[in-house]
Amino acid sequence: MWRLIRRRHEVEAEIAGEAAAAAAVTAPPADPDLEAAAFFDVDNTMMRGASIYHFARGLATRGMFTTSDLFKFAVGQAVFRLRGNENPEHIAVARETALAFVAGAKVDDVVRLGEEIYDEVMADRIWGGTRALAQSHLDAGQRVWLVTATPIELARVIAQRLGLTGALGTVAETRDGIYTGRLVGDLLHGPAKAEAVRALARREGLDLTRCTAYSDSANDLPMLSLVGNAMAINPDTELREHAKQVGWPIKDFRTGRKATLTALPIAAGVGAVAGGVAAGIALRRHYRPHL
């Protein structure tokens, strides 16, 4: 049975990758190097903390959900974070419930709120060092995409605000501009990120051996291992050790006490999904009466 479940997730990852690549926005640089590109994870790589959690915080300031909403789902996601990577059944449950809570919300509302909340909450949380790395690729004529489990609409807002080419993110099914609550494929996480990059490379004619990928998490090893150049940014312990073993460069832009730094990847992982759930609750409560 576990073999069938794992195969299902492999297929869903492929579907998610193809959907993310199809949804990516492309903008060629002025003096293009069309075969090379860079791919950046977002949470704790480009941005301090989890982008969807910051989005939920922005909704909280608008009185659109309570702290108890966030806490309930944070507890459940903490269990998933600790056990889900080894348990296909837990992963399946997370996938099935990931975006069910936004059913009925309008895509335009999510985009508008994403733009407002990025400017209010997220802009000051961009790592300057990572942003400079992205700019160096743009200056070299290469295209730069974000690759994140964050919903594609929010990922696009972040990419646009940073002046990047576009974004690969989790694609939610919509009908007539309204979320159905179902995903197209799987969450863009782990192997699905690599599938998205591979699909985009086929579409854009990229030479992956000339491409570069950046991440903070060992969860992104499939994506990092897919390209010719990889760099660990603010890495978790497992990624740091792997990067040392294979000779990947390591950059750490974090400051503060060691205990705080160690906790950041876990906090971001839990906060990302719990924040997304809270955000979905808020959007459903706020907008459903007007649909």
Name, in order, each residue with C-beta under 8 angstroms of 247's C-beta and a sequence gap of 6 or more: none
Question: What's the CA gap between 276 and 167, in Å, rounded?
Answer: 18
49 three-state secondary structure = coil
Of 31, 41, 69, 119, the active-site residue reads: 41
Contact 104, 179 (CB under 8 A): yes
Of 43, 69, 216, 220, the active-site residue reads: 43
Residue 257: phi, psi to the nearest 5? -70, 150
**In this structure, how many other beta carbons lie within 10 angstroms of the beta carbon of residue 230?**
24
Contact 25, 159 (CB under 8 A): yes
Task: Identify whether 41 is a catalytic site residue.
Answer: yes
Burial (CB count <10 Å: 0-12, 13-18, 19+), residue 15: middle
Question: What's the CA gap between 245 and 237, in Å, rounded?
Answer: 13
Active site residues: 41, 43
